[in-house]
Structure 1
């Protein structure tokens, strides 16, 4: 086989075919996972080496990043930041989890970063990729620093039967329905309405919390059942909602500028990932990052 024949299968496996290539259907779930794991390794190499060209080719035009200090960056700002940031002495991605929803893929990972001065930081990442017809393009990424004392492993619990929920399902397939679902998600937190969450969180739901902890559905439901809003929070509005749709997957980006009963305040920025199945939207993932404005 000539060299071109050897290179072509490799490009298919890594999902890095040029845009000029013929359009092909989205890869199978198994192949997509191989491709995205390979892309994650290439991303680590690109960050270590300061390879901005790699990111220009990977990142989609409508890309949105939520940084580990809670800033929102569009594609241009992300590329500038990537080109300017100092190279890492060491960077590895661990606990990589890939879920595929047709032409859309959701990837969770934990990054272990060693700075040029030897300091080590662990960061939780969530990334969303969309198949362009020839390769995977990155449309969203969010990071949250894992605070000292917070475990790196996914926290799991045995699932228990969901509480009955007597509300009406959203069958509409439009941005207004997604916006209402987002409002209902936040209201359910205020009300500690675990039955609402039981009805709307997918069985494979995962959440990254603002301290970097990582919960499965069962642990999250236990947390949602606590009257956190009633006992600790005076105000928890939702604002700056940005909804993006990719096939049967929707990304909801927004923020909660909260006020605690003791007078402290802060801002959480989040991305929720919703998937439409059998005419219903269910949430498969949530990622929260504390917004820390520059001084």
Structure 2
């Protein structure tokens, strides 16, 4: 029983870490702060942007530094996380606003892997979506 409790506690802690990291990544779009991206994206990370273009960690760091030129805000609305041993799938959405007043949402899926005791994103796919009417 102790083993199951410890495993459950580890998963809850990982869920908190992943959820908080996703929130920080969303907010970095408006702040330009790259520290969260440098921490949570694996060196072998590959993402797919809404136009279908692949990008790597170094590109994401550079784009995040420049993002405040375009974005006033970007906020995490929701994230759901499912665990599969040392892997986790995080799916969520964010609401953003540009300096032009344009608003929208990103819908995404991030694949997290635990390597050497550390959770990092190895893959991401992002989609543009209309702003929610909620």
Q: TM-score, normalised by structure 1?
A: 0.39
Higher strand proportion (structure 1 or 2):
2
**Structure 2 residue runs without a partner (length 5+):** 1-6
Q: Equivalent residue for 1:48?
A: 30
Q: For 1:86-101, what aligned pairs fall within 5 Å after superposition? A: 86=69, 88-101=71-84
Structure index of larger Rg: 1
Q: How far apart, CA to CA, are the structure 2 residues paired with 1:38 and 1:49? A: 16
Q: 1:69 to 1:152 in 2, by over 3 A?
A: farther
Count of aligned residue pairs for this structure pair: 126
Give the Cα separation in 2 of the matches to 1:113 and 1:76.
23
Partner-residue secondary structure (3-state), 1:82: helix
Structure 2 distance, partners of 1:124, 1:152, is 15
In structure 2, C-alpha distance between the alignment counterparts of 1:56 and 1:135, rounded to whole Å: 13
What is the rounded CA distance, in whole Å, between the counterparts of 1:35 and 1:46 in structure 2? 16
Distance (Å, rounded) in 2 between the aligned partners of 1:123 and 1:71: 15
Identify unmatched segments of 5+ residues in structure 1.
1-24, 154-295
User: Secondary structure of the equivalent of 2:35?
Assistant: helix
Secondary structure, counterpart of 2:127 in structure 1: strand
Given the alignment of the two structures, is residue 30 of structure 1 paired with residue 12 of structure 2, yes or no? yes
Equivalent position of 2:128 in the other structure? 145
2:3 corresponds to: none
2:48 maps to 66
- Tell me the CA shift for residue 40 of structure 1: 1.5
Q: State how 1:104-115 maps to structure 2 within 5 Å.
A: 104-115=87-98
TM superposition shift of 1:147: 4.2
In 1, Cα distance between equivalents of 2:26 and 2:59: 19
Give the TM-score taking structure 2 as reference length: 0.81
How large is the Cα RMSD of the aligned pairs? Answer: 2.3
Following TM superposition, the consecutive aligned residue runs of length 4 or more in structure 1 with deviations greater than 4 angstroms are: none
User: What does the per-residue CA deviation read over 1:71-130, in whole Å, with 9 as the maximum and x for residues that have no partner?
Assistant: 101222222222233352121112311101111111011110111222101121111111
Distance 1:59 1:127, change over 3 A: same
Higher-RCO chain (CA-CA 8 Å, sequence separation at least 6):
2
Distance across 2 between alignment mates of 1:101 and 1:152 = 33
Whole-angstrom CA distance in 1 between matches of 2:51 and 2:58: 18
1:83 is the counterpart of 2:26: no
Bigger helix fraction = 2
